[in-house]
Amino acid sequence: MKVNMIGIYTLYVSTEMIDFAKTGLYRAVPMIVYKVNDEKPQHFIIKRPIEIFKENMEYRQIRNIVHETADPNITFLSIPSKAFSKMQSYAKQNIDKVIADMITHIVVKLIHQMQSEDTSSRNVFFIENIDSNKVIGRLGYLYLDSKVNTIAFVTYKTGGLLTDILNGDNERLKFDINYFNSQEKSKEIHSEIIPNDYMESMTQTVFFRIPDTEATLSPLRFDVLSQGISKEMIREKVNIIEDILQNRDNLTLPIIEKSTHGHGVNITMIPRVLNECIEAAEKYKHEAQVILEGELYG
Amino acid sequence: MCEFMIFKSDTNTPQDEIHYEKKIDFFSKKICGDYLKRKKVLIITGSGISSTVPDMKEIMDKIEQLIDCYDDSWEKSDVFNGIYEDYRRPTELEKHQTQSRLLTYIQNAYMGKFQYVQDSDIVPLANVWRKLVVWLLEGDKGLLSAEPTECHRVIRDMYNEMNVISLTTNFDNLLKKAFDKSKSTGTERRDDLKSESEDAGTLHPILSKEEFDLYYTSEENDKSVIEIQSRGDVFWLECTGEKNKICPNKNKQCFIPGESIEIRDDRVQCNLCKSEAKVYFAFPGTKEKDSEMSIVINGIWKYFANAISCVIIIGNSMNYDPVIVDFLRELLQKRQLPVMYISRYDRKRGREQRNYESVYGKRATSFLFSNRTDSKGIWARCENTEMILEDILQNFKKYQKEDKVAEYNKKEYEEKASYFWRRIDEVFSADLNFDDFLIDLKENRDIEKAIFDIDKVNQMRHFSQLGLKTYWLRGKTNIYQKHNRLKHSVGVMLISSYLYLKICPKPNSNELTFIQLAALFHDLGHLPFSHLLEDVFNDFGWISVGESTTFNHEQHTRRIIEEILENNEELKKLMNKINYSTSELQQLINGEYGIGFIDALINSPLDCDKIEYLFSDAIFMNRGTKEDFIIFMKDYVENLSVNENNFLTLKRSSTKAFLKLISMRGEMYDQVYLRSGLRYLEACCKLIIRTFISYVCTEQEVFLLAEDEVRFPSYYNLSDCKINRVVSFMEKCTEGMPDDEVCELYVLKEMVKSIESNMAISESIKNTIKSCMDIIEKTKGNDAVNKIEEEKVLTFEVSHNGFSQSTLKQIIKNVYLRFPGIILVDYVESKSSFSFGNREMRKRRSDGTKSATENILIKDIKQIKGHLDPEFKCLGDVTAEVNKELNYSNHNYINIYRISDNSFSYMQAEDYTIHELRKEGIIDEG
């Protein structure tokens, strides 16, 4: 059985405060970089920026955008920094929506492409975690074939791991990342599914320990799309991911992430397909910049 | 020269003169055109028109003088000194605030609110206020003897010539004096103005919600007119009742001057019981003033805001009235009305001193001129501002003579009404050949042929009026095809034409055609599945740029009308001929045209749309007959009329017919619209549609649309592109559909085909969708629907304890996503909430108001013999009364639909759903 590995990375470039003050416009260009197996990374971009606000926009339109009845006179718009932050936060919601739409487009397109090449193949998507439920909702409405497709949102940065988010000052969670780290590192057990009622959630969180040799590598977190599937099927999906990552060729060189608490650095490795998307993104980012600046000053 | 500024002066250059005349001409012509359409001019006046009474500056000067000259016995407290010093040396920003603080302090001493005043200040300040009041009433420019100015006279003449309503911030009541004067001395009016003073009605000042309601809910108003006075600046009197405890003026706020008081020995007293009367007012900048002003403005929105054709502001800087500014801002956003701002210029300051910044630069007035699509704001300046009003009036009269619309005479409109009645009779006949009927209709000269020759209109015949409900319940394709949206729209057109001719006081052919257009076009935006599709758009939360609600057929209707009127030359000519604009047509379709009875015919809780579809649905569903309809119409028309405010009024048999209609609607809700078996089938349709749309919206085409700046000038997410993609699919699908197909079934089959061939979709969902399609196609007849209800539907009554709608929405979405193709949850609202056509919950406006528009008056809801209601009420205010009369209870339901055949999965999903609903208190335990 052939397993296709797909990496998806999203990013956006947007107007800086100084441009906004000059033009009265907040613009953003979202972009997706993706890669299938050993193919060259590709990118997907809409060649027109999302435009959130422009001067002389109708009052009604602005009010719809900012959803603010408490400040009907929109006086905040006269102060650029306030207007900028207002527009930026509203823009973020819209950028999330557009990125979610772009991801579903790429996912569906790639599934068609790969299924038409080989109907027996299986697809594993590694999507760099984005902090928006929009993409999960949109993927949910697609009812993708879960036997064929495994979608995993990958978190590797310390800030995105459960420990820092939930541990806080409270009692340590039984199944947080520290607990996972403190367990005896048996070579056979590389992953642990964090128990939850799978019906409550559209995703199932899994911690994964990189099979390390010398250095101590931080674990990864995968949120696996688990719509309508049983616990056994989730285990199967985790096994597929484990199988892929057991092979060191499918992982990259260590990613070094500075710890947020100043306790040294966290080192980890991530799926190679995803890492190559991240690296290629820098190159493509320029194109987004050109679109953004072309619109601003062109 | 500034485009929006005009100048009237004897030193005008010829160029100035042409510019002035052009603008005044445009404005007057617009007023005249709208006058023929029964629209109103709103005149907002301020202290600038009342030069015969003291203005705020003079009042403050007098107060200062009274304080400064008070005898030495007054030892001013530190508190007062602080307040007074602040007032005398304010910064520009604090000016109104400090003035207001001083006045409040003095007035508190006078009104006996001693807790807010230092002891040493009480007596002197009360005396200061007493003297001020006497001066204000009887001084050199005393209110009691003040004469109306020339401006008041011109406004009075405007009242007599055109439909005018004045909104004033003045407390002088001089306009009323101008009216009274012209009534008492018929000769007082100038010769060049048409003297109709004997016929002119009385002017009533409206100061409160109660007065608004009284005026607008009267069946007849004896030609009286109103002036709306904002509470803030108005003087009020309260009799202390010290000499007569039962004096009617005691503790009652009475409007003065002159009507409730008299002055004896520098003492103001009640003219009924001679007790001391206290006189007070609320000044600019106080909260009290603004909140009470909002109540008055609420009345404008409720009763006539949509009927305003243009606004004239005169003698009002707008600096002190933020509520009026916000009201105007809202009004101008909603409707692009022309505004004329008239202000005085000071000759001494020079001809060129136009003080551009004083109006355009400040927040209170800049919105009148900027950001308006077709430069409809005019700033007119003159030394004597009334001369500009005079010019408008003279121009109006000139155009009025030229632009008369031929009204039908009685014989004519009776003939026409009986023609439409015959046609209505035919359209409800079961064996009607609709195509022949249409051909006959086109021959009639009272219906413009051009309106039928539009592709979009003819395409409506593809869409079933009741979606697939007719197919499921009656199971006969031919009935299904006869009951379509074109036939419905033609029916609405005929009923509205008939009712218009029957009830309109002065019907004319232009208005008739306008109503017919709105009636025929009102459903143009319906796509296959109509409301079902809108629910899906709502679930996805797709809102178009510039809209405040998710995509619906009203928005689509608006777009189609714009498109038709832009491209169809015949229709363009017709609109020019009848002198109505595209936006007016759209306003009427939305029920916001402003002329009450016309809106009531086209879009209201008892519009012709409801009358047609209820009877038509009942007949096609085999639950009623043509005779029921004929009896209904006869009863309905019998006591139906239009009052002087253009409101539709119902009493006795008409009210009875209305209740019958609502009760009939309730039955249709029970048996058809909300029937759980049919909703189950609709839920299956939605599952197919939602899955299909989700995939359509991942197509490359959607992203390419986002790059099209011409079609989507504003773009901040992909909602518009996705809506466009779905609408194009629907339109394309119906265009290529064979004639003998059932439209909705055909569209569904196309969707299922596309889903089945999609390699990304899970096989189990494909199977579910296939079985859904099977049941949709095979369910025919009442028994089949009953079977579904028995086997596949679980119903729970919703708890009365209250819950959050968003939580419920979230649960429904969760179940949909987490149990794909296994179970669906549906929330069914009580029929009582639909009985009046769910009144839209309005957001609070920026002027602090929140009210729906009213245009129907009703009485005699409780029909006990010999005890009919004496008073009319607005229809929107009697919802509870009608529900009680019809015994409608407020029960909402949750339906759980079993989709999957797999018992284990279903049980698991059902347990989860019920548990979640109980946990959130949406359904009760047990």
Q: Which of A143, A198, A231, A233 to mutate to test the interface with B (most CBs of B within 10 A)?
A: A143
Task: Assess: ipTM above 0.85.
Answer: yes
Helix (H), strand (E) counts: chain B? 37, 20
Q: What is residue B187's predicted lDDT score, i.e. its pLDDT?
A: 46
CA pair distance A193, A221, nearest whole angstrom: 10
**Does position A174 have pLDDT exceeding 60, yes or no?**
no
Q: Which A positions 181-240 lie with beta carbon below 8 A of chain B?
A: 199, 202, 227-228
Question: Which residues are A13's β-sheet partners?
Answer: A29
Q: What is residue B651's predicted lDDT score, i.e. its pLDDT?
A: 92
CA pair distance B768, B754, nearest whole angstrom: 15
Q: Which B positions 333-372 lie with beta carbon below 8 A of chain A?
A: 333, 363, 371
Is the separation of the CB atoms in B663 and B465 below 8 Å?
no
Helix (H), strand (E) counts: chain A? 8, 11
Is the separation of the CB atoms in B485 and B465 below 8 Å?
yes
Q: What is residue A65's predicted lDDT score, i.e. its pLDDT?
A: 59
- Token pair 């064996």: residue: B431
Chain A residues closer than 8 Å to B716 by CB: 50-52, 65, 91, 94
Q: What is residue B13's predicted lDDT score, i.e. its pLDDT?
A: 81
Q: What is residue B773's predicted lDDT score, i.e. its pLDDT?
A: 97
Q: What is residue B486's predicted lDDT score, i.e. its pLDDT?
A: 93
Local confidence band at A71 (pLDDT 50, 70, 90 cut-offs): very low
CA pair distance B751, B748, nearest whole angstrom: 5
Q: What is residue B864's predicted lDDT score, i.e. its pLDDT?
A: 66
Is the separation of the CB atoms in A187 and A211 below 8 Å?
yes
CA pair distance B531, B834, nearest whole angstrom: 15
Is the separation of the CB atoms in A249 and A272 below 8 Å?
yes
Is the separation of the CB atoms in B268 and B235 below 8 Å?
no
B167, B38, B36, B32: which is closest to B594 by C-alpha?
B38
CA pair distance B555, B524, nearest whole angstrom: 10
Chain B contact for A91, CB < 8 A? yes
Sheet holding B856-858, edge to edge: B640-642, B648-650, B856-858, B873-874
3-state secondary structure B267-298: EEEECCCCCEEEEEECCCCCHHHHHHHHHHHH
Is the separation of the CB atoms in B518 and B588 below 8 Å?
yes
From B370's Cα to the closest Cα of chain A, the distance in A is: 9
Return the CATH superfamily for domain B5-52+146-233+287-402. Answer: TPP-binding domain (3.40.50.1220)
Q: Could you tell me the CA-to-CA distances from B58 to B54, B233, B321, B473, B746 in Å, in that order?
A: 6, 15, 19, 78, 78
Chain B residues closer than 8 Å to A104 by CB: 694, 697-698
**Does position A75 have pLDDT exceeding 90, yes or no?**
no
Q: Structural domain boundaries of chain B?
A: 5-52+146-233+287-402, 54-142, 675-780
Q: What is the pTM for the complete model shown?
A: 0.88
Q: What is residue B812's predicted lDDT score, i.e. its pLDDT?
A: 94
B279, B232, B283, B231: which is closest to B257 by C-alpha?
B279
Q: What percent of chain B has pLDDT over 90?
A: 46
B725, B698, B700, B699: which is closest to B711 by C-alpha?
B725
Q: What is residue B189's predicted lDDT score, i.e. its pLDDT?
A: 45
Question: Which residues are A225's β-sheet partners?
Answer: A203
Q: Which residues contact A221 (CB under 8 A, 6 or more apart)?
A: A129, A154, A155, A156, A160, A161, A162, A177, A205, A206, A207, A208
Supply the angle between the helices B569-578 and B553-567 in degrees, to the nearest 10: 100
A89, A18, A108: which is closest to B755 by C-alpha?
A108
Chain B contact for A250, CB < 8 A? no
CA pair distance B369, B263, nearest whole angstrom: 46
pLDDT tens digits along B267-306: 888 888 888 888 877 666 666 677 778 888 989 999 999 9
Is the separation of the CB atoms in B66 and B125 below 8 Å?
no
Q: What is residue A295's predicted lDDT score, i.e. its pLDDT?
A: 53
Both tokens of B504, joined, read 């309109």
Backbone phi and psi for residue B493, each to the nearest 5 degrees, phi listed first: -65, -45
Contact between A50 and B717 using a beta-carbon 8 Å cutoff: yes
CA pair distance B793, B214, nearest whole angstrom: 50
The mean pLDDT values, 10 residues at a time, for chain B of 926 residues are 73 83 91 93 92 86 92 90 88 73 88 88 92 86 88 94 90 86 61 46 80 86 80 66 82 63 81 83 67 84 94 89 87 88 76 61 77 69 90 92 79 89 86 86 83 88 87 76 88 96 92 96 92 92 84 93 92 93 94 95 93 91 84 95 93 93 90 94 97 96 93 88 95 84 91 95 94 95 94 93 87 91 92 64 72 89 72 89 86 94 91 93 84
Q: Closest chain B residue to A117 measured between Cα atoms?
A: B759
Is the separation of the CB atoms in B812 and B871 below 8 Å?
no
CA pair distance A253, A274, nearest whole angstrom: 12
Q: What is residue A72's predicted lDDT score, i.e. its pLDDT?
A: 46
CA pair distance B47, B3, nearest whole angstrom: 27
Is the separation of the CB atoms in B603 and B520 below 8 Å?
no
Q: What is residue B170's predicted lDDT score, i.e. its pLDDT?
A: 83
CA pair distance A205, A220, nearest whole angstrom: 11
Chain A residues closer than 8 Å to B697 by CB: 101, 104
Q: What is residue A296's predicted lDDT score, i.e. its pLDDT?
A: 47
CA pair distance A30, B40, nearest whole angstrom: 50
Question: Which residues are A272's β-sheet partners?
Answer: none
